[in-house]
Structure 1
Amino acid sequence: MLLRSLLQTAIRQGTVRLIDASDRTFLIGDGQAPVCTLRLKRRHLDWSIALNPSIRLAEAYMNGLIVIEDGTLYDFLDLMARNSAKVGLDEHWLKLGTGALLRLARRIKRHNPIHRARRNVAHHYDLSEELYRLFLDEDMQYSCAYFRDPGISLEQAQLEKKRLLTAKLYIDRPGLKVLDIGSGWGGLGLHLASHAGCDVTGVTLSVEQHRVSRDRARAAGLDRQVRFDFRDYREIQGSFDRIVSVGMFEHVRKGNYPEFFDKIRDLLAEDGVCVLHTIGRSNEPGPINPFILKYIFPGSDVSCLSEVLPVVERAGLLVTDIEVLRLHYAETLRHWRERFQANRDRIRELYDERFCRMWEIYLAGTELSFIHQDTVVFQIQFVKHRDAVPLTRDYMALSPLGTGSTGRASYPRLVQQAP
């Protein structure tokens, strides 16, 4: 049995009980807990999954052709992720049967025109607003929260994330012009306007996010102070005192990094500050999960610092701070997964059971990647001039409003600019 042989190479600790379509049972692993039972409902699944496990295992579960009888999908993925981390099989599984997909991704990684970017965004972010309200926090923050204290609510952790970003932007006076690239449902832009007195322009390529964020700004009476545009960041002109981008950089693609950072440089004021919040790898470069690429976030990618920082430097920008958020996203995803499961019946009514299974794989698998593998979140601050922010990080100590220090840097420029 091909699938049995493949699982035997992957599972060293814990046990999978595999029942094939002929009702034969195979025990795989060390016979110890945790134990998960997988039942295959079609004969062809044995060789089909074995030929391309990185995506066909997920597809079989999505289509109801694999039933987990002991434990849950999360338990099975957790067992696999634990073993993968121990024996280094993650890249091996990704490469099996996915060579053509990876070669295609390499060929098109530099080609990301605006129309394709809009189509990729629509695939995920233009799903029903109700869907996202069923598992996100009240502010509809769809990125890594910041769990300043263990046990705080998702709502509080997302507020802490907005406060942290506001502090790193160094909002030292009211009225600063802020560009929010990938502004989502508007929560961060509205926070910067209402709590820090900023004049905010947010851009998104999602029709749904654009509609919701504009409605929220109007309802809050902030529509003159916060403008949300349905536009690609490459179409923006002007100068901004602060630029922030949260959860958008993953959709840029590595071949387009020079274009992205050159645009940031052109838009950023001479004394401006930019903060980039993005998922990344703490280890070495590698391919994105094929399931995520095909079904969840087409056109997406994640990178390690060695792939990002050289491009930042070549753009003439200076990195002034880097923070690596590790298990914060795992905790965020746990909250999302539990809320999704609690509202699964309603989500099934909005879509169908296959959709629920697909998102179950997405939420559980991504959570576990932050726990067991090399997935992290980077917050990178960069500027044009080295004295655009104070010499120490004390200004990042958060005030109750999350605005950090209120005083401008009290020292002269270290290098006088030419007149």
Structure 2
Amino acid sequence: MLQTYAERLLANTLKDLVRRGTLDVTLPDGRRMNFGDGTAPRAAIRFTDTRAVLALLMDPDLRLGELFMDERLVVDEGSIYDVLELLLRDADAVRPGAAVRMLDTMRMAIRRFLQNNRPGRARANVAHHYDLDDRLYALFLDDQRQYSCAYFEHPGQDLESAQRAKQRHIAAKLLLEPGHRVLDIGCGWGGLTRYLVEVAGAGHATGITLSEEQLKGARELAARAGHPQAYDYRLEDYRATPGRFDRIVSVGMFEHVGVGYHDAFFRKCHDLLTDDGVMLLHFIGNSDVPDFNNPWIEKYIFPGGHIPSLSEFTPAIERSGLVVTDIEVLRLHYASTLRIWRDRFLARRAEAVALYDERFARMWEYYLSMSETAFRYQDIAIFQVQLARRQESVPLTRDYVGEREAGLREAEARLGLMSSGT
């Protein structure tokens, strides 16, 4: 009876979710169900045991990824991306069941505990993801390891030039002048700091990270740059950083701060910024009401992470004494970035299996696929927030962004960097 109830509930759920495209489902006993309107995209999945069906129904946010990783849900036609697209693109119109709503309420209630990113825990959370074998990231990132959203200036732009455009766009918003001292909070492998020094003309760049692997890579690449003496990379929590800086930039790090630490982050940035300084914060944001982190992402990919809504982080900025001088929302740019990353990863998937194992490769494929569908079909986007201590530190119109980007393009051309990494 429980099996029959589960199958009926699965059929009713998928009938509501899959309205466009085609999803074929094979049950553990071999019976098949079909959903959708018969058009593309097409995908076929197979459950290997009845408990897999029950697990998916009880907690789809967590269990779909786990079942795929454990091969209890097998994709027989199409890809896991196709499955996620079919399930998510009309999901906003479907009300979750009572069990899922109860889980959502519980996860919202405990999210501050999960995001208790005190210094020691923050370091462990970063190591979980960013201290993986560096050869893994070489499978899909650009040659400078830009592990954040690219900026696509036109359709079909390649990843390397789109990442270059992202660096140029950020540098223009920072209003850099020769000799400026820059702090990069969460510097990764140092690609942005090298651009700010070698192309944009910053006098000195300090990059801080909690990843030992990224620190090692950033130092090695800086040693081969044109101005190796201009870089200082440290294994350091932002809360421990001393000094004052003319410019502060942070790309893809604020998602790791945690909802309970927004005040501490912005107050520290206020203290680190000079009186006439400018800051640019680039991060994944939620365009909807505040929500909890996806439980599968929390467990397997980014423990302690959080995608903040405008209503969550802007009050902390107000309390810090900083002034919001500009907010830009980059819609779908990360979806395009993730599509390229996923294609590159799948082209070299066998190397990922050799580095780790088959289950890890399925996990990584699911991560890239789920992230792309989130940016395409859910309320997730990139926010670029420009901040200052004084509102007169930034021009009153946005004309300067295009003007400075044009100047940076000329500098790139002089250095021979039009389409390659810095």
Q: TM-score, normalised by structure 2?
A: 0.90
Q: 2:34 corresponds to which residue?
A: 27
Higher mean Cα deviation, 58-67 or 10-19? Answer: 10-19
Counterpart selection for 2:353 from 348, 358, 361: 348
Deviations 1:155-189 (A, max 9, x none): 00000000000000001x21101000000000001
Shift of 1:261: 0.3
1:194 aligns with one of 192, 195, 198: 198
Query: What is the CA–CA distance in structure 2 between the aligned matches of 1:226 and 1:137, rounded to whole Å?
Result: 21
The alpha-carbon deviation at position 18 of structure 1 amounts to 1.4
Count of aligned positions = 401
The aligned counterpart of 2:15 is 8
- Structure 1 residues 280 and 331, CA gap change in structure 2 (3 angstroms): same
Superposed CA deviations along residues 95-153 of structure 1, whole A, max 9, x for unmatched, are 464555443323344x3211100000001100111110110011110101011122121
Aligned to 2:24: 17
**1:133-212 maps to which residues of 2 (within 5 A)?**
133-171=138-176, 173-198=177-202, 199-212=204-217
- Residue segments in structure 2 that go unaligned for 5+ positions in a row: 1-6, 412-422
What residue identity is the alignment partner of 2:77?
D
- SS of the residue aligned with 2:392? coil
Code of the residue aligned with 2:399 in structure 1: it is D
106, 111, 114: which one pairs with 2:112?
106
> Is 2:249 aligned against 1:249?
no
Could you tell me how far 1:252 is from its partner in structure 2?
A: 0.5
SS, match of residue 401 in structure 1: helix
Residues 56-67 of structure 1: matches in 2 within 5 Å?
56-67=63-74
Instruction: Report what 1:42 is aligned to.
Output: 49
Taking the TM superposition and a 5 Å limit, the aligned residue runs for 1:86-97 are 87-89=93-95, 95=101, 97=103
Contact 2:16–2:94 (CA under 8 A) maintained in structure 1: no
Q: Share of identical aligned residues, percent?
A: 46
Query: Can you list the C-alpha shifts for 1:326-345, whole angstroms capped at 9, x where unaligned?
Result: 01111111110000001101
Following the alignment from structure 2 to structure 1, what is the Cα–Cα distance between the partners of residues 226 and 135?
Answer: 23
Cα distance in 2 between the residues matched to 1:208 and 1:243: 23
Q: Which moved more, 1:348-357 or 1:384-393?
A: 384-393
Q: Mean Cα displacement is larger for which, 34-43 or 183-192?
A: 34-43
Q: Say whether 1:399 aligns with 2:399.
A: no
Does the 8 Å contact 2:17/2:86 carry over to 1?
no
Gaps of 5+ in 1: 405-419
The Cα offsets for residues 47-102 of structure 1, whole Å up to 9 and x where unpaired, read as 122111111121111011111112211111111111214x1457989646455544
Distance 1:140 1:310, change over 3 A: same
Q: Residues 16 and 27 of structure 1 are in contact (CA less than 8 Å); yes or no, is this contact kept in structure 2?
A: yes
Task: Give the distance between the partners of 1:301 and 1:95, measured in 2 at CA.
Answer: 20
**8 A Cα contact 1:49 1:56, kept in partner:** yes
Matched position secondary structure for 1:196: coil
Q: Within the alignment, does 1:288 sit opposite 2:293 as a pair?
A: yes
Aligned-residue offset at 1:30: 4.3
The code of the aligned residue for 2:381 comes to V
The RMSD of aligned alpha carbons is 2.0
Matches within 5 A, 1:252-267: 252-267=257-272
State the distance in 2 between where 1:366 and 1:89 align: 22
CA shift for structure 1 position 44:
1.6
Determine if contact 1:182/1:246 at 8 Å carries over to the other structure.
yes
Work out the CA distance in 1 between the residues paired with 2:264 and 2:97: 29
Contact 2:257/2:305 (CA < 8 Å) preserved in 1?
A: yes
Report if the CA contact (8 A) 2:181-2:246 is conserved. yes
Tell me the SS of whatever aligns to 1:224. helix
Instruction: Pick closer, same or farther for the CA change 1:180–1:92 going to 2, 3 Å.
Output: farther
Separation of aligned partners in 1, 2:151 and 2:199: 18
